Structure 1
Amino acid sequence: MRDKLIIIILLIIMFLNFFDVLTDISLGVPSWHIFSESLIVLVSAIGALFLIKDIRNRTADIIRLKQALSISNDKFRNISDEMKNARHEYSAVIRKQFLQWSLTPSEQEVAMLLLKGLSFKEISAVRNTKEKTVRQQASTIYSKANIEGRHELAAWFLEDFMQ
């Protein structure tokens, strides 16, 4: 939303300066002034185009991530009943541990996505939040679990399977 507001502001600046340049030309204003205002029009247009391209790229990335998660979920739907039960039980064990650590629902979601191997950037895209928020939530998760980072988080749930 913030990026869209910036685009709108840049476009308004661009159009107002464009019409000001046209008026200045008809009034015979010095060329240096026309040049400087034309430069503002050009920079505003470039900035707006850059942001539009960036929004499209981020939107495409988010769509790809959601599709990848959907494909992953489809794959899990096709596994055997025994594997489904094991997965369900393991998920319940993980959620129980999250409750013991007193993780909030948002922190639980971030922790689960960390366990699935998503990066902070990918988690922020999937959850439609800022990457900084995800980093802060991850830091809180690590603190509540008394662990150092994502590797220890994964190890916490995998070490019992190792002999």
Structure 2
Amino acid sequence: MQTNERWVLLLTLLLIVLVVAVDLITDTSQGVILWHILVEGSAGVLALVGILYLLHQQFQLKGALQTERQLSAAWQQESEQWRAQSKAYLAGLSVMIDQQLHAWGLTPSEREVAFFLLKGMSLKGIASLRNTSEKTARVQSTAIYAKSGLNGRSELSAFFLEDLLPETDAGH
């Protein structure tokens, strides 16, 4: 339920409580029988319970939202710290990758496509970013694999990234 809907419901229940309270005061002063007062009083109590429930839910929702905001801020800060700490390494890696792409004899367009492939972008996404057709991106990626002697995107990624990951013990 959205916040506006909660407030409308809360105000409606509050109005019901007020109307029932006024009616109970009027009925009591006029000597209305006890069961009638108990029934109307029960309706007012139920409306009050509804108000308390909505307020409780609202406070819980605000608390959960605050917790999520704090977690998000912490993750954002951790991400920014990682980027700042690894920036020099990543810049060096980028230079080294570009040098290898030059060594393979890739054109500037093919080097750009190679970087996008390493970032995990689809051919359609690459074509869109470069304002070319998907067919052009496909032809350029095929040229990259041919010039590098690699058999596709996974081998291209592994060529540059395999040594960045810690070795795993295959027996365990």
TM bin, normalised by shorter chain, reads 0.5 to 0.7
Report how far residue 93 of structure 1 moved: 4.5
Match of 2:67 in 1: 64
Task: Give the 5 Å matches for 1:1-163.
Answer: 1-79=4-82, 80=85, 81=87, 93=119, 96=121
CA distance in 2, matches of 1:84, 1:58: 40
Q: Deviations over 1:39-63 (max 9, x none)?
A: 0110000110010000110111011
Structure 2 unaligned blocks of 5 or more: 94-114, 126-156, 163-172
CA distance in 2, matches of 1:29, 1:10: 24
Amino acid at match of 1:20: D
Report how far residue 77 of structure 1 moved: 1.3
Count of residue pairs brought into register by the alignment: 99
Amino acid at match of 2:69: K
Q: Radius of gyration: which is bigger? A: 2
CA distance in 2, matches of 1:37, 1:21: 7
CA distance in 2, matches of 1:93, 1:29: 78
CA distance in 2, matches of 1:42, 1:84: 64
TM-score between both structures, scaled by the size of structure 1? 0.52
Report how far residue 64 of structure 1 moved: 0.5
Q: Deviations over 1:68-104 (max 9, x none)?
A: 0001001111112157779xx89x947x55x85xxxx
CA distance in 2, matches of 1:83, 1:72: 21
CA distance in 1, matches of 2:36, 2:23: 11
CA distance in 1, matches of 2:45, 2:59: 21
Over 3 Å counting, the alpha-carbon distance change for 1:41 and 1:83 in structure 2 is farther
- Paired residue secondary structure (2:32): coil
Over 3 Å counting, the alpha-carbon distance change for 1:12 and 1:76 in structure 2 is same
Report how far residue 67 of structure 1 moved: 0.9
- Paired residue secondary structure (1:28): coil
Percentage of matched positions with identical amino acids: 17
Structure 1 unaligned blocks of 5 or more: 101-159
TM-score between both structures, scaled by the size of structure 2? 0.50
CA distance in 2, matches of 1:84, 1:66: 29
CA distance in 1, matches of 2:44, 2:78: 51
Higher relative contact order (CA 8 A, sep 6+): 1
